[in-house]
Homo-oligomer: A and B are copies of this chain.
Amino acid sequence: MTVDEQERTESPRSKRRMILDAAIDNFGGVGFEHTKWATIADEVGIGQTALYHYFESKVHCLLTIMSTELERSLERTRTVTAGVDDPGEKIRVAVAAAFDVTQREALQARILMSHQDLLVGERSSKREEAERQRARELVREIEHEWAGLIKAATTARRRRKDDQIVLARLMLGMINSVWRWYRPEGAHSLEEISGVVVDSCARLID
């Protein structure tokens, strides 16, 4: 059995993952608008009818990539900060972890950034709307997670509660803005950028 054959006979769960990976590579490469739904079906080696079983539209698939990325990032933040005691250090490891990603995760983050306006308006399709709601809920959870980290690191200065949410949004806005311009072939390595962002976020709470 070749690797290809092996992949094609795997569980529905991993088939779904294969579709998502192919979509990430295409949406992140040539862009969402220019990606043909049929190309994804071809790359994964399934018919378009089977493809529709997993995702009812290209937008449904895009929204799923977005909520999956948000979930991954929230889980990652929780995992890396769990073992750290110092509140300032918690923020530093959380920021560093945001840039400690695979190439596909970086693409996924970029897709999330480019299509955030999709989360604003209600979808007429039920499955699309469910995925949009999930993504919005995750955005709120992430903001509260970071506001909590900031609160713990700034207790002594008695920053106002409102400021913590605003500051969390600003910090996340700064971190996520990197995905707009970072390119693997660009002038700055992700490691180099990560260093500047970790230092900048530390300055925001010191």
Contacts and interface: CB of A to CB of B under 8 A. Distances in A.
A181 B116 CA distance: 11
A181 B169 contact: yes
- Label chain A's interface by main secondary structure: helix
Q: How large is the interface on A (under 10, 10 to 19, 20 to 34, 35 or more residues)?
A: 20 to 34
Contacts of A192: 162, 166
A88 to B, nearest CB: 14
Copies of this protein, total: 2
Contacts of A203: 203-204, 206
Nearest to A32: B117
A206 B206 CA distance: 12
A188 to B, nearest CB: 6
A164 to B, nearest CB: 10
Contact of A200 (B116, B120, B170): B170
A176 interface: yes
B173 A178 contact: yes
A187 interface: yes
Contacts of A181: 169
Contacts of A169: 177-178, 181
Interface of A: 31, 34, 114-117, 120-121, 162-163, 166-167, 169-174, 176-178, 180-181, 187-188, 192-193, 196-197, 200, 203-204, 206
